[in-house]
């Protein structure tokens, strides 16, 4: 079973962004938007790691950390807009395992999650390699190979392929794919995903009329080809 991560933030867009990156990497995600719900979820779900915003309404992140530390040894990564050294020191002194300041790079956060889980031995490691036919994605090294040869993918192309490979057979709308690969701050037109798919197919050697890897679902969007 993949590690379970509890994501706690009062900003729904941030929760959605972090969730998409974690699920793409093979983690199971539960969420909360305030301190009280975070404690309930932590007791009910028993996550392998908690990503916790410091500035929560009601019970703040410091108090949530203090309470969690009294009850369990769950690893905690604090996620906050505050930059004062005192906040960082207080959080770490209470037992937080790492500290990430907003705005953050989702890939960096993912790397820190993996590092903390390796360090603390929390849960079964999430898969870091994805395979579909001759295509292999190394999620931790952010490298791709096709039939054993290096494949030069842009970050967006890599993330797009990872989303599809993580969910074989599932059809995604263009908007869903954009949100997964670009994050909540992306404001582009959803049809731009077609350009990424076109470039990706060219690099994969996919015939646009009969693609093996990235298949068009008419009226919906795209999915990973089945039977690879």
pLDDT digits (tens, 9 = 90+) for 67-80: 998 888 889 998 87
Q: Give me the pLDDT at residue 190, please.
A: 65
Question: pLDDT tens digits for 28-68?
Answer: 999 999 999 999 999 999 999 999 998 888 898 889 998 99
Q: Report the distance separating Cα 184 and Cα 187, nearest Å.
A: 8
Residues sharing a CB contact under 8 Å with residue 185, sequence separation 6 or more, in sequence order: none
CATH topology of domain 129-224: Arc Repressor Mutant, subunit A (1.10.10)
Q: Which has more confidence, 177 or 228?
A: 177
What are the boundaries of each domain within the chain?
4-120, 129-224
Residues sharing a CB contact under 8 Å with residue 5, sequence separation 6 or more, in sequence order: 22, 27, 28, 29, 30, 47, 48, 49, 50, 51, 113
Residue with tokens 């076109």: 198
CATH code 3.40.50.720 for 4-120: no
Q: Which has more confidence, 82 or 106?
A: 106
Percent of the chain with pLDDT over 90: 29
pLDDT-derived band at 152 (thresholds 50, 70, 90) equals very high
The verdict on pTM exceeding 0.75 is no
Average model confidence (pLDDT) for the chain?
84
Instruction: Write out the DSSP string of 126-188.
Output: PP-EEEETTEEEETTTTEEEETTEEE---HHHHHHHHHHHHSTT--EEHHHHHHHHH-TT--S
Edge-to-edge strands of the sheet including 172-173?
A: 172-173, 221-224, 214-217
Chain-centroid distance, C-alpha 143: 17
Question: pLDDT tens digits for 166-192?
Answer: 888 889 888 888 777 765 544 456 678
């Amino acid at each position: 079973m993949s590690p379970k991560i509890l994501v706690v933030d009062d900003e729904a867009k941030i929760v959605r962004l972090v969730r998409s990156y974690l699920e793409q990497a093979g983690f199971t995600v539960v969420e909360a938007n305030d301190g009280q719900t975070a404690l309930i979820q932590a007791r009910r779900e028993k996550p392998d790691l908690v990503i916790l915003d410091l500035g929560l309404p009601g019970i703040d992140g410091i108090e949530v950390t203090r309470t969690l530390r009294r009850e369990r040894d769950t690893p905690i990564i604090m996620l906050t807009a505050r930059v004062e050294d005192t906040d960082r020191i207080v959080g770490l002194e209470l037992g937080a395992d790492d500290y990430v300041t907003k705005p953050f790079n989702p890939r960096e956060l993912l790397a820190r999650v993996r590092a903390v889980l390796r360090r603390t031995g929390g849960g079964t490691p999430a898969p870091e390699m994805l395979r579909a036919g001759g295509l292999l994605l190394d999620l931790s090294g952010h490298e791709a190979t096709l039939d054993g040869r290096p494949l030069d993918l842009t970050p967006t192309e890599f993330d797009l392929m990872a989303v599809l490979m993580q969910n074989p057979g599932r059809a995604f709308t263009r908007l869903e794919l954009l949100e997964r690969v670009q994050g909540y701050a992306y404001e582009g037109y959803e049809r731009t995903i077609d350009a990424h798919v076109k470039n990706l197919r060219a690099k994969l050697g996919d015939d646009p009329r009969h693609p093996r890897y990235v298949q068009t679902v008419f009226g919906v969007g795209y999915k990973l080809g089945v039977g690879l």
